Structure 1
Amino acid sequence: MLKKFTLLLLIVGLSTAVEAQIKTPQPSPTSKLEQVVGLTDITLEYSRPGIKGRVIFGNLVPFGKVWRTGANANTKITFGDNITVAGQELKKGTYAIYTIPNKDSWDIIFYSDTNNWGNPKKWDESKVAAKATVKTEEIPFSVETFTIDINGITNNGARLEFIWEKTWVGLDFEVPTEKITSRSIDAVMNGPSANDYFQAATYYHTSGKDLNKALEWMKKATAGEDAKFWHLRRMSLIQADLGDKAGAIATAKKSLAEAEKAGNADYVKMNKESIAAWQK
């Protein structure tokens, strides 16, 4: 009995030791910034080292060499849409931000490989998605903790800012707000597309809802000269279910002709079988 009790105490002690993990602050705490610029979502993730009595630029961070732009894992920025930076289009996605600090300017580099701890072991120029050179400015006070921010926000762009010690660097970028807004306005003002009507009609048909409404939508979906054979096929099925066999056959023949032009054997077969069944 004593042995069992001793074993139980040992198990409890080990469990407590595993669960009781020491927690200490990160020397360079992580930060995450989420910002909407115009209609574009932007996320920034990076680690923030402190000065801690050191000389930073030109010493801890040497001039003329690639810097990880922070600490620890890659500093990463994610754009929800294609943006423009220094006249270069940067596709939507996630990039590592590397910089080459100099006394009077910085090179800011958007690198497509984000899986490095610090600088890549081997720099690959083909992974440089965009690069810009911007002038540095001296600020009249010292910023202890490395900071990246997004400021100067307008509907069409913003400024990516890097601040540490007495150095400030800003890089302007543009977002496609006008293009996105115009596309959205056009889509709404022009009304539903043929495919929108097709999807709605298909749902009503397969769900056993109002077939007359489904037929109304399918007539709109197939109103143009370039009606799709799969749209016509759905319309013929709705007509048949409404008891309009003559209309269904006429529509199925149109679908058959378009399917033959497209070389779609499945729809050719389905239309021929339906026409034969409806003609009986």
Structure 2
Amino acid sequence: MLPVRAYYVGSTIDVRALAKQMPAYPKEFNREGVIIRMSPKKVAELPSIDGDAPIPPEMLSRYLVVFKFGSVVFYNMGHKEREECLKLARSFTSTPLAVPMTDDYRVVVRPTLTDWASLESDHIVLKRMDINNISVISSVLAQTVALEHYEQKVDGMVEIFSKLNKSTELTGDLNISKKRLFSLVAENNNTLTELITKLGLLGRSDTAWQYAQYNIVWEGLRQDFELEDRFQDLDYKLNLIQTQVKFYLEILQNRKSDALEWIIIVLISLEICVSLYDMADKIPPIPW
């Protein structure tokens, strides 16, 4: 059973620059990032194996998978090695998180498995562990930890409007600036754009698209981690935020219109007063 751990460290990772810092390790680049084959484990580091049974190569293999949108996935790597690689990844992240999002998973390799893959409650069983399986599994795990970050971000925006609605209900007054509302509009739109374009939640893995057996793994994991349902939930919340922002912007706009109307009324009144004064000054005095 191989341990897999995924992290979301920041919004963007410069994959090419990071790869240059690890010239000694074989790499395979793809559209989403890079798969780096780390040095294999030593036999002494493995748990005891019964008898003289041969050691499966998967137990020695270790991989680091880095994604452009900010996720890092480790296969069969220890805590110390993960921390060193995370430190390197964070140095090439434009906006690193103070506390990375993380998730654990397990992969079991069973060559005698009848099917290509079998999904269990907390792990996946594979007939063979190869670079394509690593690519597909990493893609889903990378998306799920990144999605967790966006879920917290959107929940934070929902909480802002929840407090604003409560305050408005109690006081009858709108206690937020137009600048802050514009900031929330931009954050809302940017979040939806990143979910679709950067994370590619609505797209399909290139490997899963080309090979039917890997598509089984990809589809199964997406259902297991409920990626589509979680995206639909986020999309609903983002639309809800957009509706509320539009409502409050209309209120602020109406306030501005009312203020302008009063300014116009005052100016017209002043102009009338000035005109009456001029007229009174020009009228000749009445002889008695």
Rg comparison, structure with higher value: 1
Higher relative contact order (CA 8 A, sep 6+): 2
Q: Which has the higher helix share?
A: 2
TM-score (norm 1): 0.30
